Structure 1
Amino acid sequence: MDPTAPVPSGPEGPHPPLSAEERAEYARLRKAASVRHRRLHYAGASVLLLLALLLSPLAVVSAWVDDTITDTDRYVQTVAPLADEPAVQNAVNDKLTARVVANVDVKAITEALGRALQQADAPPLVVEKSQALEGPLKSALTSAVHAVVAKVVASDQFDTVWTEANRRAQAAVVNVLTGEGSSAVAAKGDTIVLDLGTLTDQLKQRLTDAGFEKASAIPEVDKQIPLLKVDKLDKAQDAMRLLNVVGVWLPVVALALAALAIWCAPAHRVWLMATAIGVGVMMGVLLVALAVARRIYLDSVPPETLPPDAAAVIYDTLVRFLRESARTLIVVAVITLLAAYLYGPGRGARVVRTEARRATGAGGRHLQRLGVRTGSTGRWLAGHGAWTTGVVIGAGALTLLLWNHPTPAVVAVVFGIVVLVLVLLGVLAAAPGDGAPHGAQPGRPTRGG
């Protein structure tokens, strides 16, 4: 304190200067208050980040349900590849063949044949042996019908029928999972089925055209094919209702909590790295959970309901966009972690930044030797490097946010473009052409100058 400075005064007169002990106590109290303040910030940020990370897998699933399951076009796009899957085609072949053959009374045919032979005075042995034709006749009928069914399922018409059937069934599936409306169309007990009525009508016509004149007289065939079997459908309905309520808001809440945690933490960069690591770990947990759910699902589906290979391909196809979203977030987390580290004080980060400046500086000098000068633009870029870097990174992040269903490949491409633009700006900033060193602002002396 300046001894010549006037002593502050209060209502009761001037205050005496603080003694050395009072100054030490004042400093101790300020330090303790600062420590408590930082601890409070860290505690609040920790709670917010923990909530964000715990909600992140559920947020991804919620977004997937809202975007894939409840959206008709997206749902149809998801299940459309199943029409070309051999396992699914074989399952449809077997189911339709069995149901068509089951409606043909082969035993009545063999009995009619026996009566006809008996009326024609055929030998008793021939009449008796005619009853043994039931098995071979049914086998031959099954093979013939299966061949016709296979042609129908392998045709382009099947893709159209499959798409339209799924489009009609989508609303019914949502009704089953939400418990709203009638579930008779889309569910039988704990099994979700798909109505292929148009296909069976075409199948009967194909059989008639192939020479099975009686096919048109076959009674109405069961047109529903098992698609999914859920042992605990009521629990799935409860989960679906919850996800339907939170909808798209849960991802927004999780993102807001993470952003608020980073903002509250004293060390923003370190907290950003922690958030990236946490998100990557939670997305890994989600992928493991999907793998476990796949095993549980396959074990719960009886082979007579759906063959294991068909059940596996249906599950994998249905959740493929969910898996892709989790992998995309892992890639984003890795890139965010890498970027946050490179902007830090670590030795490795300093080495990378130094080498990057050397490389862009060498590129700028090479441009100048070629006669390319960036002039005032280069000087402006050199003086506003932090600002331009933030704009480029923000543009990359905004691109991913606005991208419709970004994949890991899209994230990698956007990241590569951001790096390329940053390198290009660094080279342009190093080639102003006026002899000013890279990063120096005009009119100001450089270090050592």
Structure 2
Amino acid sequence: MSPHAHPGGPGPDRPGGKVPDAGGGVVLGPEEHADYRRLRHAAAVRHRTSRSIGASVLLLVALLLTPPALVAAWVDDTVTDTDRYVRTVAPLAGEPAVQQVVTDRLTARVVAEVDVESVVAALSKSLADAGAPPAVVDRTGALVGPLRGALTNAVHGIVQRVVSSDTFEQAWVGANRRAHAGVVSMLTGDDSRAVRAQGDTVTLDLGTVVDQVKQRLVDQGFEKAAAIPAPDRRITLFRTDELSKAQDAMRLLDVMGAWLPAITLAFAALAVWVAPAHRTMLLVTACGVAVMTVVLLVGLAVVRRVYLDSVPATVLPANAAAVVYDTFVRFLRDSTRTLLVLAVVTALAAYLYGPSRVARGVRSLAGRAAGAGGRALRDAGADTGAAGRWLDGHRPETTGVVLGLGALALLLWNRPTVGAVALVAGLVVLVLVVLAVLASAAGGRTGGPAPRPDAAVP
């Protein structure tokens, strides 16, 4: 029996046996080598499948968290930043619909404090005592309506001048700045601040403004204006049967405002990193985020309609209610639109780096344009030399650095807008074009050929 073989087992003379090599290792036979390759391929497929499933789960979580993360960031930002809160509510003082509500409410209350019937009765008695004909005395009762109308017009004019003046806007801004903690009160149900939540109604206390209006009326001869009671210093901002539920949701969003956006961004980044094809997952993630922002914008429009339908006209006219809602959520809308534009730009960039015919055509066209620019620059005597050759040999690295700096700029930007996204995207494209032209302007290249402009990125 051969010393290298075992009875019934594979040996060096049997198919599929292992043969020691010169270094003491084992050389697999054809069948074992095929089995090894098959097992290795199966393991790679399982690994790729696991990564795809994990990336899909991470992406799903990120997309589901995107709308609440935007809302949470808006709530946290509006509640904790006094200047931001004042900028939110300040435009309401200049809105004609809101001014009309305040004017009508104050006018009605002042006129209600004037007993027109008593004035007419006193006039009737004076006429009777003066010997006026009974027919004249009896007809004095018809003066109640005209007198009340004249009084209403006079008071309305005075109140309207006050409310439409800079004094009202300054008082409005000052009151809201001092009462910034009232937003927190609305979310928590505390009624000790200017903005109060009572039952199903949210009101704003205009004590300072009312005091100024009362003083102006008294100066004009309407002493009864001083009798406006404290409860009439408030105007209704919102009324909804779901206020208590909204308060619970807002409290949770307020707590999560600082962390939920960061968590959502982390899930999205992990999804792209874990996925086997990073570019493809980046494209899918960007498209998904864009869809979720559209869903949030549609949701805001639906909530607006529900809110307007739930506010009775006796509480707040429809036009004033629409102005109040649009003013309060405008920063949330702006943030959502900004993220939508950023997602579209990211998806477009990921697509243009892909293997599609359109993407290859765009890259080829850009490469030819950069080459023509570089040749023109070189012909003009501006040969970039070694620096250009280095740029030419490190195009992927320089492109990644420029894209990373653009993303970092947006991340560090204080509340970026759609214009900010457009500006950063334009600067990134400009820098990439300049680098490509400089790389093409290098003469006497010693490195390898530049990457094909139509090369696909996985």
For normalisation by structure 2, the TM-score amounts to 0.89
Aligned equivalent of 1:146, options 138, 152, 156? 156
CA distance in 1, matches of 2:163, 2:79: 25
> Where do residues 186-265 of structure 1 align in structure 2 (5 Å cutoff)?
186-210=196-220, 212-215=221-224, 217-220=226-229, 222-265=232-275
Give the aligned partner of residue 57 of structure 1: 67
CA distance in 2, matches of 1:264, 1:444: 32
Does residue 417 (structure 1) correspond to residue 433 (structure 2)? The answer is: no
CA distance in 2, matches of 1:97, 1:445: 82
Q: CA deviation at 1:214?
A: 2.4
Give the 3 Å change call, closer, same or farther, for CA 189–105 of structure 1 in structure 2: farther
Give the aligned partner of residue 117 of structure 1: 127
Answer yes or no: is the 8 Å Cα contact 2:201–2:239 preserved in 1. Answer: yes
Decide which moves more: 220-229 or 54-63: 220-229
CA distance in 2, matches of 1:115, 1:149: 32
Decide which moves more: 133-142 or 292-301: 133-142
Answer yes or no: is the 8 Å Cα contact 2:393–2:450 preserved in 1. Answer: no
Does residue 5 (structure 1) correspond to residue 5 (structure 2)? The answer is: no
Q: How many residues align?
A: 434
Aligned equivalent of 1:370, options 356, 375, 380? 380
Q: CA deviation at 1:234?
A: 1.0
Answer yes or no: is the 8 Å Cα contact 2:18–2:29 preserved in 1. Answer: no
Give the 3 Å change call, closer, same or farther, for CA 411–108 of structure 1 in structure 2: same
CA distance in 2, matches of 1:186, 1:419: 50
Per-residue CA deviation, residues 37-92 of structure 1 (Å, 9 max, x unaligned), is 11111111111110110011000000000001343221111111111111111111
Give the aligned partner of residue 292 of structure 2: 282
Unaligned runs of 5+ in 2: 1-16, 452-458
Aligned equivalent of 2:355, options 345, 350, 353? 345
Give the aligned partner of residue 381 of structure 1: 391
Q: CA deviation at 1:27?
A: 2.1
Answer yes or no: is the 8 Å Cα contact 1:169–1:186 preserved in 2. Answer: no
Answer yes or no: is the 8 Å Cα contact 2:90–2:173 preserved in 1. Answer: yes
Give the 3 Å change call, closer, same or farther, for CA 446–416 of structure 1 in structure 2: closer
CA distance in 2, matches of 1:369, 1:2: 65
Unaligned runs of 5+ in 1: 10-14
Decide which moves more: 169-178 or 51-60: 169-178
Does residue 35 (structure 1) correspond to residue 45 (structure 2)? The answer is: yes
Q: CA deviation at 1:3?
A: 7.3
CA distance in 1, matches of 2:83, 2:273: 39
Give the aligned partner of residue 307 of structure 1: 317
Decide which moves more: 185-194 or 144-153: 185-194
Aligned equivalent of 2:28, options 14, 18, 30? 18
2:227 maps to a residue whose letter is I
CA distance in 2, matches of 1:178, 1:213: 40
Does residue 332 (structure 1) correspond to residue 342 (structure 2)? The answer is: yes
Give the aligned partner of residue 129 of structure 1: 139
Aligned equivalent of 1:93, options 96, 103, 110? 103
1:38 maps to a residue whose letter is R
CA distance in 1, matches of 2:20, 2:288: 57
CA distance in 2, matches of 1:93, 1:340: 55
- Percent sequence identity over matched residues? 60
CA distance in 1, matches of 2:315, 2:362: 58
Answer yes or no: is the 8 Å Cα contact 2:181–2:193 preserved in 1. Answer: no
1:414 maps to a residue whose letter is V
Does residue 406 (structure 1) correspond to residue 442 (structure 2)? The answer is: no
CA distance in 1, matches of 2:361, 2:20: 51
Residue 276 of structure 2: SS of its match in structure 1?
Answer: coil
Q: CA deviation at 1:443?
A: 5.6
Per-residue CA deviation, residues 195-245 of structure 1 (Å, 9 max, x unaligned), is 2222222222222333x2424543436211111223222101110121122
Answer yes or no: is the 8 Å Cα contact 1:80–1:163 preserved in 2. Answer: yes
Give the aligned partner of residue 12 of structure 1: none
CA distance in 2, matches of 1:250, 1:54: 11
> Where do residues 60-79 of structure 1 align in structure 2 (5 Å cutoff)?
60-79=70-89
CA distance in 2, matches of 1:62, 1:376: 51
2:353 maps to a residue whose letter is Y
Residue 229 of structure 2: SS of its match in structure 1?
Answer: coil
Q: CA deviation at 1:142?
A: 0.9
Per-residue CA deviation, residues 252-292 of structure 1 (Å, 9 max, x unaligned), is 11111111111111111111111001100001100010000
